[in-house]
Amino acid sequence: MTVGVNVSRFEGIAMAPPDPILGVSEAFRADTNEKKLNLGVGAYRTEELQPYVLKVVKKAENLMLERGENKEYLPIEGLAAFNKATAELLLGADNPVMKEGRIATVQGLSGTGSLRLASALIERYFPGAKVLISSPTWGNHKNIFNDARVPWSEYRYYDPKTVGLDFEGMVADIKAAPEGSFILLHGCAHNPTGIDPTPEQWEKIADVIQEKNHIPFFDVAYQGFASGSLDQDAASVRLFAARGMEILVAQSYSKNLGLYAERIGAINVVCSSADAAARVKSQLKRLARPMYSNPPVHGARIVANVVGDPALFGEWKAEMELMAGRIKNVRQKLYDSLMAKDKSGKDWSFILKQIGMFSFTGLNKAQSENMTNKWHVYMTKDGRISLAGLSLAKCEYLADAIIDSYHNVS
């Protein structure tokens, strides 16, 4: 029996809602107003609000072109030089974990793909184990664990009253989780809140995780973007590694090297022995093969060249500081503009305390919608704005929009 051409077998498939973050960029592109501003996705823009390809990336690409490298398949685990460079960037080249060969590193499809691969490992080898994620967190974390069929629940993180960290709540919830849970932590520059634990708080978090035999699972998507220093931003992960703990770490080069579309990142599993690391790596490869076979080479070569060459590495650090510095400048200007324009006496200083690419404004859904519908400021509905998409020239306009939305919409 054949089916009539105008009767679709896909009739039962409903329209999916737009993605809460990437859908914002789609809506932005469709807006023709010249005042429009895209503060949705966390993508770095220049002061002229143009996308930015790092100079050091262009240099690395020129080198690659000169060498005339081929397009053969990579091994399932990715480019060896990249895997070495990325683990060293994370832990430091002289970290005992590296010398002892206790780390399984597999190149992934950027941060998201690396998180997804780790989730598949959890699902297969820790059946029933739960992942604890912060409330709130990057929206895609829930999708990733749902699709991998890994159960998750939330731990308290953000306290709207103090516009800061609910440290007591966080520790209590991690303590209360079933022994051997995976605790997802943002290595630095927590998305969306921009609030990180202090070094002392990290120690206490490590204490509870160790006490409860949990496994820390770091998402490091912004190394270098919190402080401007690659080493300083890896301090949380290194602190856990120094305790001899087993840890999972997903890395991304989307933001810090501006390699968004190259889809380059890694999953690292620090194990208590080299033998365990070898076995874990073999299973990660086994999971990757039927999903995407092997990863793309271009971004891996860029990272390997930049991190592996002292001169280029130095240039990257300088550019990284410039990008982080520009965001700090717009953060300050936005705060100054809000304080100058808002006569209500509201304290906006929380904006200065937050770090990284984002500011969590405290605007609710209706207020965020007003930002978009009336002011053409595109942002996520949780009140997050990406300062990486803001220029000094647009700070006053943005302050007007925020003040109007905050005071005139409930």
Q: Which positions are catalytic?
A: 138, 219, 255
Footprint of ligand PLA (CB under 6 A): 21, 41-42, 110-112, 138, 140, 186, 191, 219, 221, 252, 254, 260, 265
Least separation in angstroms between CB 68 and ligand PLA: 29
Least separation in angstroms between CB 211 and ligand PLA: 26
Q: Got the DSSP string for 179-240?
A: TT-EEEEESSS-TTT-----HHHHHHHHHHHHHTT-EEEEEES-TTTTTS-TTGGGHHHHHH
Least separation in angstroms between CB 382 and ligand PLA: 11
The Cα–Cα gap between 267 and 243 comes to: 20
Least separation in angstroms between CB 186 and ligand PLA: 6
Least separation in angstroms between CB 207 and ligand PLA: 24
Whichever of 335 and 360 has its CB closer to ligand PLA, that residue is 360
Q: What residues does 135 pair with on adjacent strands?
A: 156
DSSP for residue 256: T
Q: Positive or negative, the Cα torsion across 191, 297, 123, 10?
A: positive
Whichever of 173 and 219 has its CB closer to ligand PLA, that residue is 219
The single-letter code of the amino acid at 20 is P
The Cα–Cα gap between 91 and 242 comes to: 10
10 Å Cβ neighbour count for 144? 23
Cβ distance 115 to 148 under 8 Å? no
Q: Which two tokens stand for residue 308?
A: 């592996």
Q: Which two tokens stand for residue 299?
A: 């971004």
Whichever of 111 and 197 has its CB closer to ligand PLA, that residue is 111
Whichever of 185 and 277 has its CB closer to ligand PLA, that residue is 185
Whichever of 97 and 299 has its CB closer to ligand PLA, that residue is 299
